[in-house]
Structure 1
Amino acid sequence: MLARNQDIDFIREIDTAQIGPLNILRMDREGAIDLVRTAVLSRQRMDIAICNAHTILSALDDPAYAETLQSLTLFNDGIGAELASRFLHDKGFPDNLNGTDLVPAILKEIGVPLRIYLLGAGEEQVRAAGAHITETYPQHTVVGVRNGYFDLSEVEEICETVKAASPDLLLVGMGNPLQEHFIAQHGDRMGATVTIGVGALFDFMSGTVIRAPKPIQNIGLEWLFRLLQEPRRLSKRYLIGIPRFFYKIQGLKRFAKASSSAK
């Protein structure tokens, strides 16, 4: 059975939104940064997954992935998670804690010098992301980078390399669900104090992928901008996944009403 981050004392009392099998923390960006700071200063290991509509839908489809996510500390990401929480609980999230914005905010505002390791994406992208962090946040130290293209025979060596670097913060950018399974299965062996699954963050930091303009982000349509950039890769996720996601959320609402009526 996977250990549960929710058993950590300073996480247990935080309000959550239950969406299907997942309990996603309700907190603002300042609170999320403080949570990471507390973990680093107390040397309490914490693994974080950031859940958007695609992540939640994947968990609803795949019990094994849901179990993996339940073992991690869950933050919310995007308009899909927000609408689901409002529909199910009449209450949304204080902030959108998408990793593309949250991680830079952590690096800027945490107030503690961090040793950072980057794992994931292509070689060019992860090295460029490491250089970006070194230049933009000189108070922190990038202690290693490793691309995300490896086979099972290399996992042991990767875990030992990360552990030897002794990072306070490990950023894993392999996409869903691979990065969450990797973190849950190997986090203890890598030994980072805080590990965060960051999806495409290294692509954004390296400039390989361009973010939507702020006005589009602010109205919750960044997903559409990304779809227009990468239609072949993302069309199934968004054009099929979004309707399926809301159908599943409606099913959760119906089930909750039926259970309540039966009591």
Structure 2
Amino acid sequence: MNPINILGINVNTYNKQEVLAKLVFFLTSDKQHYLATPNPEMILEATSRDEELFYILNKADLSLPDGMGLKIAAWFLGSSISRITGADLTKDILALAEKNNQKVAVLNWGNGLSSAEDISQALANQYPGLKFIAQDIARKVIGQDDIIEVVKKFQPTIIFVALGAPWQEKFIFHNLSKLSSIKIAIGVGGVFDFLTKKIKRAPKILRAIGLEWLWRLAKQPWRWRRIYRATIVFPAKFFLWRFIYPFKYRPNVVCLLYQTEQGRGGEIIYKILIVERADEPGHWQLPQGGRDGEDLLTAGQRELAEEINSSKFKPVVALDKLHVYEFGEKISKFGVKAKLARGYKGQKQGLFIAEFFGGDEDIKINHWEHRNWQWVNDSELVSQVHPLRRQATKIFLNKFKQIVADK
């Protein structure tokens, strides 16, 4: 069954029975499986602030919508989806584990409402036949090798990570391969607070009509910002993505980072940085990204710093409105078609030129975005980038040559 796409995030449309069948299959499979339960707030975070989270969510083996906002969004896309909450899914998985004699590990945020001891008591009372361990951990993606060793020694087939988004998703992504016994990994946020009765779930009638958020607001008023984003910001952004952006071009900045070296004859040789896309081996291009409402110079500095994780460059010039193009079927973001990931018809690009004064060791590309990088001579730039990028790259290179000639 094909997933639907909401703001660039793929979401499965399985009903509860189909999900349970998938879980049984996952437990008998030789592979590891990551389950995601995206909600409106998580999707907003992934699409506006956290590209790594965007990448991870779209790598999920099963992505189940948690939130009435996603159900309504799917309706506007012509699809009907079953809302499967993280709380309900967790109970289903625990019951399945108990029935099939599967070991379970729970990694719990140590500063949350429920402690590992609270969770252990709740599981022992509610699932007396379940074999499990529960451990309190910090909100750290990597560097918790002692916890990893404890889990490895226990050899569970199912792991719940209750750190809250995006920490739990990133913890699973970076550590799952170290835990070879795990067949199912899922981030569950504060779900275990319901099992420990630290928090009371909304009445079924409120859950059924999509007003669970109102119950949470009444019980936890300090969550109002999160609820506002889920109930106001998400619908507004979805409306723009679905009905407005498809007719507009996304403002984009291309970053041309260069360094110089002296040739054998004393001439200046310009080296330009290009990057290879993580989702398409062999697709080389100049670094680029959205402007996010910023002026071109500000956006260029931010985007370049994010792309190479270094600030060792000096801005030279920013040139607006140099190239416009429409998204094609082959242009994507982390495997998601650009029209879906961005929502826009295409892009209108400006150019940010900067000179690099660091060393190669200072350049650290993001694993979810690029797989490699290299310096190329300006004379070879056009031939080295992907054919889809060559027309625009010619324009940017000509502007670069004009700028350095005038220096």
After TM superposition, is the score higher than 0.5? Answer: yes
1:150 CA displacement: 5.8
Q: Which amino acid aligns with 1:221?
A: L
Aligned to 2:128: 138
Question: 1:99 and 2:99 equivalent?
Answer: no
1:4-52 deviations in whole A, cap 9, x for unaligned?
Answer: xxxxxxxxxx321111221111101111111111111123210111011
Q: Percent identity?
A: 24
Question: 1:196 and 2:183 equivalent?
Answer: no
Aligned to 2:158: 169
**Structural mapping, 1:73-152, within 5 Å:** 73=61, 74-87=63-76, 89-93=77-81, 95-109=82-96, 111-122=99-110, 124-142=114-132, 144-149=133-138
Aligned pairs, how many?
A: 246
Aligned to 1:67: 55
Whether the 8 Å contact between 1:37 and 1:112 is mirrored in structure 2 is: no
* Structure 2 CA distance for aligned equivalents of residues 240 and 134 of structure 1: 36
1:166 CA displacement: 1.0
More off after superposition, 100-109 vs 245-254 = 100-109
Aligned to 1:41: 28
Q: Which amino acid aligns with 1:118?
A: V
Aligned to 2:282: none
Aligned to 2:145: 156
Query: Structure 1 residues 105 and 152 mapped into 2: Cα distance closer, same or farther (>3 Å)?
Result: closer
Whether the 8 Å contact between 1:121 and 1:173 is mirrored in structure 2 is: yes
More off after superposition, 209-218 vs 148-157 = 148-157
Q: Which amino acid aligns with 1:104?
A: K
Picking from 189, 205, 216, the partner of 2:206 is 216
The normalised TM-score by structure 1 is 0.85
Whether the 8 Å contact between 1:16 and 1:23 is mirrored in structure 2 is: yes
Q: Whose radius of gyration is greater, 1 or 2?
A: 2
1:56 CA displacement: 1.1
Q: Which amino acid aligns with 2:28?
A: L
The normalised TM-score by structure 2 is 0.56
Question: 1:251 and 2:240 equivalent?
Answer: yes
Residue aligned with 2:64, SS? strand
* Structure 1 CA distance for aligned equivalents of residues 236 and 140 of structure 2: 36
1:201 CA displacement: 1.1
Residue aligned with 2:206, SS? helix
Query: Structure 1 residues 86 and 250 mapped into 2: Cα distance closer, same or farther (>3 Å)?
Result: same
1:199-248 deviations in whole A, cap 9, x for unaligned?
Answer: 1111111111111111111111111111211111x111112443211121
Query: Structure 1 residues 30 and 241 mapped into 2: Cα distance closer, same or farther (>3 Å)?
Result: closer
More helix as a share of residues:
1
1:151 CA displacement: 5.3
Residue aligned with 2:115, SS? helix
Q: Which amino acid aligns with 1:141?
A: K
Question: 1:187 and 2:176 equivalent?
Answer: yes
* Structure 2 CA distance for aligned equivalents of residues 235 and 152 of structure 1: 27
* Structure 2 CA distance for aligned equivalents of residues 154 and 177 of structure 1: 17
Whether the 8 Å contact between 2:29 and 2:183 is mirrored in structure 1 is: no
Residue aligned with 2:144, SS? helix
* Structure 2 CA distance for aligned equivalents of residues 139 and 170 of structure 1: 17
Whether the 8 Å contact between 2:42 and 2:165 is mirrored in structure 1 is: yes
Whether the 8 Å contact between 2:141 and 2:170 is mirrored in structure 1 is: no
* Structure 1 CA distance for aligned equivalents of residues 141 and 17 of structure 2: 38
More strand as a share of residues:
2
1:152 CA displacement: 6.9
Q: Which amino acid aligns with 2:153?
A: A
Structure 2 residues not aligned, in runs of 5+: 249-326, 328-338, 340-344, 347-407
